[in-house]
Structure 1
Amino acid sequence: MSAVPAGPAAPSWYDALLHPDTVAILGASGTPGKTTARPLEHLRLHGWRGEVFPVNPARDSVLGEQAWPSVRALPVVPDHVLILTGADQAVEAVRECAGLGVKVATVLADGFVGGSGDGARRRAELRRILDGSDLRLLGPSSLGVAAPGRRFAFTANAAFAEPDLDDGGVFVASQSGSAIGALLSRGKEMGIGFHGMVSTGNEVDLTLGEICLASVDDPRVRSYALFLENLTAAEDLRAFARAAAERGKPVLAYKLGRTEAGAGLAVGHTGALAGDDAVADALLKDLGIARVRTFEALLEGQNLAVGLPIRPAGAARARVCVVSTTGGGGAMAVDCLAAAGAELPGPSAETAERLARAGVDAGGGALIDLTLAGTRYEVMKGALDIVLSALEFDAVVAVPGSSARFHPELAVKPIVDSGGSGTPLAAFVVPAAPEALRLLRANGIAAFRTAESCADALTAVFDRRPPTDRAHYAAPTGTPSTVLDEAESYRVLDGIGVRTAQYAVLDARDLPGDLPVPGPAAVKVLSSEVPHKSDVGGVVLGVADGAELRGAAERIRRSVRQRVPGAAADRLLVQTMVRGLGEALVGYRYEPDVGPVVVLAAGGVLAELYQDRSVRPAPVDLAAAREMVGEVVAFRALGGYRGAPLGDLDALADAVVAFSRLAELEGPPVLEAEVNPLIVLPQGEGVVAVDALVRREREG
């Protein structure tokens, strides 16, 4: 492994956040068990050695300790103040902390989010206060922080009443306050300890990425577990992910929900295809972060991730061998791994021969089932030694059966003794066997209670690639946007080198005697007010001559006027129809939290229904575009499937690259662009756009 790059010292606010010497609790309650009493109770329970100042102007004492009337009245300026008041009082408390020179304030209060004017007003006021000071703010709506190794539990989360806090190398950053408590309790059960735990809340100031970046050079931090609700401050997350990858510190993330920001402005299919969870998936993959789909894998995968360096770009999917003492449990593991995308090649002839000499029948499939014989140490250990040294496997999953519950030491000893071979080794323990899991994890073996979490963690960790360096594009200015009509959209495509089918623009009130383009032709209403023309009867196909053109024009005008009252219906676009081997959708969209993304999908009016798509942060290079083409199932038919003609997939990849660079186009920023369909012609003949839609900011 290469030397760890030298990094800047952690900022002073980082120590104040997690390793302070003095803290104050503003709004501390004297009622045991109350939310506002918990931070002081937790600090005393765990024996934190710093100074604590309860602040409550209505009390002389709190839980038997002297209470102070204000932060200003304290004998020292605390490093970190936890604010447990209502929203408006919290704003004034932040102002007081800023004036006193407090380094960090954490705000628990609600009332800063949502569409209400009060929430926006309070957020704006917090930013004004912070802009003029050195104070850093965690929250609002943060449940606090913890540094278990220092016995520092500065949080209102009830889970930190746990009598012992286990120190360890995992750093947890969560946008959910409750999640840090859930991870604490689950980690304790798993024998996984934490170096730091932070609930970031609404991130008015300090962001999750910024906090993690500040911790990345701490030698006690081995890996990261992120619990994400949104993708705000993506550039901070990118800076952290790059630094963590350079230092060999793996990052696993569990992401909730869907990215809905800006969906209401979508005018094409691209918004529906890219405006959901696919964007989060694409961004995390682009950052080299292992996104897990099960909550358990977020922690259970930590031991596996620490032992596996990030793999180079272009690496194949993980090739996994499953060795089991129970056929049913082994089959569960195989099924889940296959569903998660792992390859299960089975042993090579050479490996099968080595296993046979050791008395093991490889069976010729993806599972090596040792049956009850595998409960003997020498049988399981011998089989694991062979497959762990086999070049055809990237990882091995050992699956002990019922003996793991009643004889855990015997059942897991061969697995423990096989660790450290260089090939990653994980275990899926089929029965409920907490002691077996504890023994495995205590010896650094990634151990899983379910086949699903095992497959989830293994494939997510193996799928990590080095973070991609991308240009940072300034966000659009917020100027009102305008939707271009199809002809105007084609001019944008001309500017990026995407070919369009031959077309002409006509006035339906003054039509020529014949078609202005080679027929048969498609006749379409040309209006920015009608982006989805076929939905309102605004398209007639197969028009062969002037008479049919006049009939098509009348039908279009009548239908559009009935179904879109007030929309202009006199301008028409007449376009030569193009036949190809397949249809694609290529789209571009500026996502408010993430930046520009590019989408490739199966084309046509049912694109949203099929959701057969690939998404990447933009721009992409040709190699990434070709990967995207390979990820869309529909395009496999264009790759010569069962002797079918080859489509020009190279030209399709070129079009994806061109679309991904719309952020670099001169003029008002492009917010959304789409070609659907883009006709894929036979190999060597290119691709042709036969419909387009662009939304961009208006000219200043």
Structure 2
Amino acid sequence: MSSLFHALFEPRRIALIGASADEKKTTSRPQRFLAKHGFTGEILPVNPGRTEILGLRSYKNLDAIEGEIDHAYILLNGKDAVEALAACGRRGVKVASILAGGFADAGAAGASLQDELVRIVRETGIRLVGPNSIGTVSTDPPIALTANAAFAVDRLRTGDWALVSQSGSLIGALLSRADARGIGFSRLISVGNEVDLAVGEVTDLLVDDPKTKAILLFMETLRDGPRLARAARRAHAAGKPVIAYKLGRSEIGQELAKSHTGAIAGSDATFDAFCRRHGIARVSMFESLLDVPALLVGRPRPTGRRVAVATTTGGGAAMVVDNMAVAGLDIAGPPRDLVDWLKPLGIAAGEGKLVDLTLAGAKPEIVAGTIERLLADEANDAVIFVVGSSAQFNPELAVEPLLRFAGAAKPFAVSLTPAADKSLALLTAAGVPAFRHPESCAEAMALCLLRPTPQAEPKLDPPTPAALAALEAGRASGFDERRAAALFAAIGVTTAKALAVPDARRIPAAVAEVGAPVALKILSADVPHKTEAGGVALGLPDGQTAALAAREIEKRVKRHVPGARLEGFLVQKMERGLAEVILGFRRDPLVGPTVTVGLGGVLAEIYKDAATRIAPVDEAEARAMIEEVKGLATIRGYRNLPRGDVAALAQAIAAFSRLAHDDFADVAEAEINPLLVKPEGEGVVAVDGLVLLSRR
């Protein structure tokens, strides 16, 4: 293990800067919790106003402490915390944590203080957790270096799951929920504002921790995507699942995350794409952070998605089945030998896919015999048993018989319909995955059977000279639609035939060359959204009509975008297709280059029917994206509708994703809307697009 890991999770000498003797104060907690939970190293309180704190010698400053210091917990606020970190850097402390908030999470003044922390870390080489870190905890050896009131519990339960959280208070919430179920942790850490040590690097450290078998992440944003991607891939290779719960699924959730952490939460779709690319199991329920690991740890990925379900409550089972179907799992019916075995017992199990043991079957021998036969059936890949009221009042009937199936060869889980804490703890202690919520049970089983594995990152060939020339032209003069189309064509996307003209007088000749009917568009790098500015006219039948339309277009654009530089007009051949697709590229500030495909046209933002991936993608992944877009069922042969050229669309998506190459690093966003999909075998064609460069 690295020296950083030991200083972070297994320090032997800890300085508490700003420690308090007043047990009512938060700043007294770290010293009290270290002692309470059995820390056997040295605790070194630092407080210039005291010579003794809670029975230990107190030091005036760090320089008064002899020998090395592994970890310093700074319990001061604002400028005092900054000065304390500088003192730690000068003193050679290996790792420091800062409890206080009020930095980038508190506006401009706090951001300035946080910049000072960054400077100190850079200049001294000290490693920093926080600010806004509630602390770091290990259970073996016991080190409760935290100010979180949840650690006032009588004992810390050991376990082999680690938790990395950007929220300090949520560590306490998860700890209490886990403890009530008999679940413990190996390590817990609150990384706060992540000035230095962030989720990705801490996860990377935990991959090598022999006491950790699963890594749970509570996230509000993503600050170190490349490090987390590397860590997740290493964790997969080591057989350690990485399971993430992230805020920011809704627009308001993203705003709350921003105000709480001082960072942008980012698009939910791009984080999903990040998890898919790097093999992270993302959960939608907070409770699932505790529910999912039991079905993933130490278990190879099954090869199918068929789940057999038995129950003593039809309604409870229906909730689990419904959620599993939404998650993409198939429900397997009972095997013939089980149907024949249950029939003499008065249980008709062959009439549907559920094995319903309600009333007559809530007996230990029937429950055990049913599960035994389902687990032996090769026609399913996993088994779930849903227990009704007997779980709460008579666990000996339908819960205790399930304990023998802990460690079954195939995934086996139990969903408890009532609030049955005793049964939940009983199953958990025996090693049988048990769930309080049907949604969480279904989510866990879906991740067990369909869990993402790290995907190979397609190799990007260097851009062609034509692509580099098109990029340079756009850099030099700005990307109007003509220059955007030239770039798209150069990277392999077919574009509509078009001619650029400087003024309306030359439009008739251009129409004759392109071929009527035509679309007429204003050319201006200052007008990226031409339709909204009145800069487009469609279906013009001849050159004279187009010339007249040009004058009206020019008037509308000047009113809508005063001061825009107008460079003439684009005369483009009208194209038709079976479907309109939007194809987008974006360098996301959190996850890097992404590519998106969705239903196109003017209503694209309303429908939001799209699939997003980390770029680049190959054609196989592009086809998977097409399958995800519901509105594109029309070109996939839905109800005998004419098939579109899906193969050409996949090729275009893969080609467009080549903008992820480093040579295109200043392409912040690019979009084709619409990309017309023609009948099968006839290709696709881009008829409108834009390119936005980042500011240098």
Q: So what's the TM-score if we normalise by structure 2?
A: 0.91
Instruction: Tell me, yes or no, if the aligned pair for 1:351 and 1:390 is still in contact at 8 Å.
Output: no
SS at match of 1:615: strand
2:494 alignment counterpart: 499
Q: 1:100 to 1:666 in 2, by over 3 A?
A: closer
Identify the residue that residue 453 of structure 2 maps to in structure 1. Answer: 466
- 1:401 equivalenced with 2:388 (yes/no): yes
Structure 1 CA distance, aligned partners of 2:320 and 2:567?
62
Q: Give the unaligned 5+ runs of structure 2.
A: 256-264, 461-474
Q: For structure 1, which segment, 274-283 or 435-444, has the greater mean C-alpha deviation from structure 2 after superposition?
A: 274-283
Q: 1:518 to 1:354 in 2, by over 3 A?
A: farther
The worse-fitting range, judged by mean Cα deviation, of 279-288 and 105-114 is 105-114
Which of 321, 324, 343 lines up with 2:330 in the alignment? 343
Q: Cα offset for 1:600? A: 0.8
Question: In the TM superposition, what are the counterparts of 1:583-602 in structure 2 within 5 Å?
Answer: 583-602=580-599
Q: Indicate if the aligned counterparts of 1:200 and 1:206 stay in contact, CA closer than 8 A.
A: yes
Query: Could you report, residue by residue, the CA deviation over 1:2-32 in whole angstroms, capped at 9, with x for unpaired residues?
Result: xxxxxxxx21011111111111110112221
Q: Write the distance in 2 (CA, Å) between the matches of 1:441 and 1:399.
A: 15
Cα deviation, residue 357, structure 1: 8.0
CA distance in 2, matches of 1:226, 1:570: 51
Shift of the 361–130 alpha-carbon distance from structure 1 to 2, 3 Å rule, reads same
Q: Deviations over 1:248-300 (max 9, x none)?
A: 1112110011599xx99xxxxxxxxx962001111012111111100111111
Of residues 623-632 and 389-398 in structure 1, the stretch that sits farther from structure 2 once superposed is: 389-398
Instruction: Pick one of 277, 281, 297 that aligns with 1:286.
Output: 277
Instruction: Give the equivalent residue in structure 2 for 1:549.
Output: 546
User: Taking every aligned residue pair, what percent have the same amino acid on both sides?
Assistant: 45
Q: How much has 1:617 moved relative to structure 2? A: 0.7
Do structure 1's residue 411 and structure 2's residue 408 form an aligned pair?
no
Q: 372, 375, 388: which is aligned to 1:388?
A: 375
For residue 448 of structure 1, what is the aligned residue in structure 2? 435
Q: Within the alignment, does 1:224 sit opposite 2:215 as a pair?
A: yes
Tell me the CA shift for residue 569 of structure 1.
4.5
* Kept after mapping to 2: 8 A contact 1:90/1:107: yes
Paired residue type of 1:576: K
Aligned-partner residue type, residue 85 of structure 2: V
Aligned mates of 1:418, 1:542 — CA distance in 2: 69
* 1:269 paired residue number: none
CA contact 2:334–2:354 (8 Å) conserved in 1: no
2:626 maps to amino acid: V
Distance 1:284 1:259, change over 3 A: farther
Residues of 2 paired with 1:286 and 1:364: CA distance? 41
Q: For the structure 1 residues 367 and 639, does the alpha-carbon distance in structure 2 shift closer, same or farther, using more than 3 Å as the test?
A: same
Q: Is 1:625 matched with 2:616?
A: no
Contact 2:508 2:543 in 1 (8 A): yes
Superposition map of 1:76-155 within 5 A: 76-114=67-105, 116-155=107-146
Q: In structure 1, what is the Cα distance between the partners aligned to 2:573 and 2:315?
A: 59
CA distance 1:691–1:130, change in 2 (3 Å): same
Contact 1:24 1:78 in 2 (8 A): yes
> What is the 5 A alignment of 1:259-658?
276-310=267-301, 318-347=305-334, 360-470=347-457, 484-514=479-509, 515=511, 516-569=513-566, 571-658=568-655
Cα distance in structure 2, aligned partners of 1:114 and 1:149? 33
Residue 483 to residue 31, structure 1, CA distance change in 2 (3 Å): farther
Deviations 1:291-348 (A, max 9, x none): 110011111112111143246xxx66x3222210111111111122223332224346
> What one-letter code is carried by the residue in structure 1 that aligns with 2:453?
P
Q: Please state if 1:193 is matched with 2:193.
A: no
Aligned AA for 1:623? A
Letter of the 1:500 partner, please give it.
T
Letter paired with 1:579:
R
Does the Cα contact within 8 Å between 1:663 and 1:669 map onto a contact in 2? no
One-letter code of the match for 2:99?
L
**1:364 and 1:524 mapped to 2: Cα distance?**
63
Alpha-carbon shift at residue 360 of structure 1 (Å): 4.7
Q: 1:550 to 1:134 in 2, by over 3 A?
A: closer
Distance 1:352 1:647 in 2: 46
Q: Which AA in structure 2 matches 1:592?
A: P
In the alignment, structure 1 segments of 5+ residues that lack a partner are: 1-9, 265-273, 474-479
Alpha-carbon distance change, 616 to 352 in structure 1, aligned in 2, over 3 angstroms: farther
User: 2: CA distance between counterparts of 1:155 and 1:307?
Assistant: 30
| Separation (CA, whole Å) in 2 of partners of 1:107 and 1:51 | 19
Aligned 8 A contact 1:254 1:293 in 2: yes
In 2, the alpha carbon distance for the partners of 1:198 and 1:114 equals 19
SS of the aligned residue for 2:587 comes to: strand
Query: Post-superposition shift, 1:114?
Result: 4.7
Residues 1:238 and 1:531: Cα distance change in structure 2 (over 3 Å): same
SS at match of 1:72: helix
- Deviation per CA, 1:595-643: give whole Å up to 9, x if none: 1111111111111111111111111122211111111111111111111
Deviation digits for residues 146-202 of structure 1, max 9, x if unmatched? 112322110111111111110001111111111111111111011111000011111
Q: Which amino acid aligns with 2:184?
A: G
Letter in 1 for 2:502: D
Q: Partner of 1:4 in structure 2? A: none
CA contact (8 A) 1:149 1:165 kept: no
* Residues 1:667 and 1:186: Cα distance change in structure 2 (over 3 Å): closer
Q: Which one-letter code corresponds to 1:179 in the other structure?
A: L
Which digits, 9 at most, give the CA deviation of each residue in 1:36-89, with x for residues without a partner?
111112112222211111111122332343321112112333211000111212
Cα offsets for 1:511-554 (capped at 9, x unmatched): 34352411211111111111111112211111000221022112
Higher mean C-alpha displacement, 129-138 vs 640-649: 129-138
8 Å CA contact 1:358–1:383 kept in 2: the answer is: no
Distance in structure 1 (CA, Å) of the matches to 2:365 and 2:199: 48
Cα displacement (A) at 1:203? 1.3
| Range with greater deviation from structure 2 (151-160 or 344-353) | 344-353
RMSD value, Cα? 2.6
Residue 466 of structure 2: aligned partner: none
Cα deviation code 1:381-438 (max 9, x no counterpart): 2221222222332221111111111111332122222233311011110111111001
CA distance in 1, matches of 2:567, 2:690: 19
With over 3 angstroms needed to count, the CA separation of the structure-2 counterparts of 1:381 and 1:642, relative to structure 1, is: same
Query: Could you say which structure has the greater relative contact order, defined with CA pairs below 8 angstroms and 6 or more residues apart?
Result: 1
- Conserved 8 A contact 2:505-2:547: no
